[in-house]
Structure 1
Amino acid sequence: MEQEFLHQKKTKNPKMSPETKEENKRKAQKRIFVEHVMRLIKICACGARKI
């Protein structure tokens, strides 16, 4: 997996900057969108096999 899709992990002591939090949020939104599309493809593929 490429680095641009991985989010930054929070360390124990220093807090994450607001910019890093926002970047992680954008990456999570993209990841969820892709996962939902893949789910729909799998559902359609299973339905097509049963016919």
Structure 2
Amino acid sequence: MKPGAIEILLIVLGPVVLALIALWIREAIVDWCAPRHHRAENRRGKVRGRRGND
């Protein structure tokens, strides 16, 4: 039985998509486990709702 175009496409693109999802999850876990001062956004360091911080 000879595989068709759809089967070949699924065989080629399946691992690529799975690898991209794995890399995305890895980056999310690394960012989540990083110390607070290395994160992109430090929410606790900001003062919100105050005026006149002279």
TM-score w.r.t. structure 1 length? Answer: 0.56
What fraction of aligned residue pairs are identical, expressed as a percent? 9
The residue type equivalent to 2:30 in the other structure is C
| Structure 2 residue 10 is matched with structure 1 residue 24 | yes
| Structure 2 residue 20 is matched with structure 1 residue 34 | yes
Instruction: Note the alpha carbon deviations across 1:1-51, whole angstroms, 9 max, x for none.
Output: xxxxxxxxxxxxxxxx71320111111111000000001000000001457
* Bigger radius of gyration among the two: 2
TM-score w.r.t. structure 2 length? Answer: 0.53
Structure 1: runs of 5+ lacking an equivalent: 1-16
Structure 2: runs of 5+ lacking an equivalent: 38-54
Partner in structure 2 of residue 46 of structure 1: 32
CA RMSD of aligned residues (A): 2.1
